[in-house]
Amino acid sequence: MKSPVVAVLSGGTSREREVSLRSGANVAAAAACLLPTVLFQVDSEQLPAGLDPKIHVVLSTLHGTFGEDGGMQRLLEAGGFTYSGCGAEASACTMDKAATKALAANVGVPVAAGLVFDAAQAPLAAELTARLGSEVVIKPNNEGSSVGLSICSGLDEIAAALAQLAPGRWVAERRIRGTELTVGLLDGRAMGVVEVAPKTGVYDYTNKYTKGNTEYFAPARIPTGAAGAVQRFAESVFSVCGCRDFARADFILSADGEPFFLEINTLPGMTGTSLLPLSAKCIGLDYAALVREMLAPALRRFQHDLP
C-alpha cells in the first residue's frame, strides 16, 4: 500500500502569518524524515490548490483566525480530507476564550475572575476596577499568541487600554501575579510542564517570538504537586473541549501555589522558541519525534478510511 503524502499548511491570513510560516517550515522539514511531504503556503481563506484527499494527510500550522478557529478545519472536512489536530467544532470552541473558560470552570478547573464585552459597549475603567481589582489583563476574545494583550495597573492605564480597543469581543480578567506555565498534550495526555520567564516585562508577542527575550525552564521549577495539578487540569480542559491529537494549555501559578487556567491552544507554535517542543522534550521526545506523534493519529484515520 502506497504511503500517504503529508501536506503541511503554513502562512494564512491572520496576524500570526509570519510565525506560521516559520512553524510550517520546521514541521515540514521534520515530517520529510518520516514520509513524503509537501509544504503549502496558504494566502487566502480557501484550500490551497493541489491538495488531494486521496493522497494527502494534512498537518496545519496555521495560527490565529482561520487557522485555529475552525475555518480551515471546516473546509478540510467538507473536502473529505484527513487531518491532524482538533476538529472544527473543538477549534471554534477553544478559540473563544470566554467559552473555554466557562467549560473549564464547569469541570472544576480554577479560572481567573473576568468579564466579556464588545468593544462598542466597553465598561468604564472604574467598573472594571470595582469588579476585578486595580490590576487587570485585557485581551481579544478570539486571538492567539498574546496578540492585543494589555496588562494594566490603575484607572489611568485601564482607561487608556479601553480607549484603544479594536472592534470585536474582548475579555478583561483579574491579574494573577505568579509563575507562567504551559503544558503540551498528546492524544489527551499531558507532557512536561514548562516555566516561562520573560527577562523583562510580560510574556507578550514580542517576548514570545524574539529569541533571547525569555527564559524557559523545562521542567518548570515548581513543586511536584503543583506540576501534577497543572497536568490534570490540562487533561480535563482538553477533554471537555472535545480536543483530539494535540494541544497546549497555559496556566499561571499564583503566589500561594494555586494554578489558574488561562487558555488552550489547538495549533501551538512550532518555531525555534515555541513551547510545545519544550514540553515534549521533558518526556524524551525531540522535535522530529514530536511531529511523528502529532501525525500518528491522522495517519491511522487515513488508513482506516481507505476503501
- Any idea which residues carry the catalytic annotation? 16, 145, 209, 248, 250, 263, 265, 269
Asked if 278 contacts 191 with a C-beta cutoff of 8 angstroms, the reply is: no
3-state helix vs strand vs coil in the chain, percent to 5:
35, 25, 40
Report the amino acid identity of residue 290: L
DSSP state of 111: B
Spatial separation of the C-alpha atoms in residues 146 and 221, rounded to whole Å: 23
Query: Hey, which bits of the chain come out as E strands?
Result: 5-11, 37-42, 56-60, 82-84, 114-118, 135-140, 150-153, 169-174, 178-186, 189-198, 214-217, 246-254, 259-265
Phi then psi for residue 152, to 5 deg, are: -120, 145
Could you give the 3-state DSSP secondary structure of residue 70?
coil
Q: Print burial letters for 1-30: b (CB count within 10 Å at least 16), e (below 16).
A: eeebbbbbbbbbbbbbbebbbbbbbbbbeb
